[in-house]
A = this chain, B = another copy of it.
């Protein structure tokens, strides 16, 4: 019941361990007959390579890490992250990489955990699933020369490998669209402003309003990208201001869901009294009634591209990654007139 090692195979086949190793890597310095013999022996003995031992000498783990960069609870509650993971998993699996998940309670801890992943040689690289202002983790990774790809962007770090959509432009366009549909007073509903994605969308929103010169921007910022927070936030806003808006642009579908709930509860009609557009296109919400209009992000694809890029970086020293900006699509369903 002991593990079959390369040495066992070597002995049984009457060759040296180095030969067996070369057969495994299909080196062209080994004759066909020997290869055949060794392969047969491996099969007979039930040999399987030991990834640990291999990693020790090659200094590669063939593993990439996935760091949420959000509190676990929060991250998993939002289907956006599941989509990203799914995309990443598809690629890692195909490329024979393992995927390890790192997710902790808070940002500080996560930063530490991520660095440990590298220092303890558990991963060859990581994918960061979101970024915040002055992201120290990114500083550290760059300083240490640890390979990573960011899903999102970091204004303070020019030229790092990222996969993203153009949030400023996408938001700008969406606001412009709402104005064209004759909505007069559009407010924004954002998650925590420490995230770059919140900032970028806010910027696009503000810019669009300014350029169309017809009103002041107004952003409701809630504590988390969750419907509970959005629900409460919008409810409070309505009560305080006695309405005073006819459209909400939510920076996330979950937020949009909360907004819908609050609005309906106040007896306002969607989309007649208030129009709503979200972000992400969480599939489930297209089954809502009214079905949510939203800016569709190629979420799955973003995960794929990030994984592909990272793996390429790991295998080609001359490749330092790039900036991939994917385009989005405005999906209009029931929540705008």
For A50, the chain B residues whose CB sits under 8 A away are 120-121
A76–B87 Cα distance when bound, in Å, is 10
Q: A63's contact among B90, B100, B258, by CB below 8 Å, is which?
A: B100
For A81, the chain B residues whose CB sits under 8 A away are 82
A210 at the binding interface (Cβ < 8 Å): no
A162–B116 Cα distance when bound, in Å, is 32
Number of A interface residues at 8 Å Cβ cutoff, please give it. 49
For A73, the chain B residues whose CB sits under 8 A away are 86
Query: Which of A217-244 touch B at CB < 8 Å?
Result: 227, 231
Q: A55's contact among B48, B52, B264, B283, by CB below 8 Å, is which?
A: B52
Q: A119's contact among B48, B113, B119, B122, by CB below 8 Å, is which?
A: B48
Query: Is the Cβ of B82 less than 8 Å from the Cβ of A52?
Result: no
A192 at the binding interface (Cβ < 8 Å): no
Query: Is the Cβ of A76 less than 8 Å from the Cβ of B72?
Result: no
A264–B334 Cα distance when bound, in Å, is 16
* Interface flags, A61-74, vs B, CB<8A=1, else 0: 10100100000110
Instruction: Find the B residue at minimum CB distance from A75.
Output: B86
Stretch at the interface among A28-36, A178-186, A284-292: A284-292
* Interface flags, A171-198, vs B, CB<8A=1, else 0: 0000000000000000000000000000
Residue of A48, A51, A56, A284 with most chain B CB atoms under a 10 A cut-off = A284
Known: A98-B100, A103-B89. A52 touches B287 (CB 8 A): no
A52–B52 Cα distance when bound, in Å, is 6
For A99, the chain B residues whose CB sits under 8 A away are 100-101
A150 at the binding interface (Cβ < 8 Å): no
Query: Is the Cβ of B72 less than 8 Å from the Cβ of A287?
Result: no
Q: A287's contact among B48, B53, B257, B287, by CB below 8 Å, is which?
A: B257
| 14 intermolecular pairs with C-beta atoms under 8 Å apart | A48-B116, A51-B120, A52-B52, A72-B86, A76-B85, A77-B283, A79-B79, A82-B82, A93-B102, A93-B104, A93-B113, A227-B284, A227-B287, A257-B284
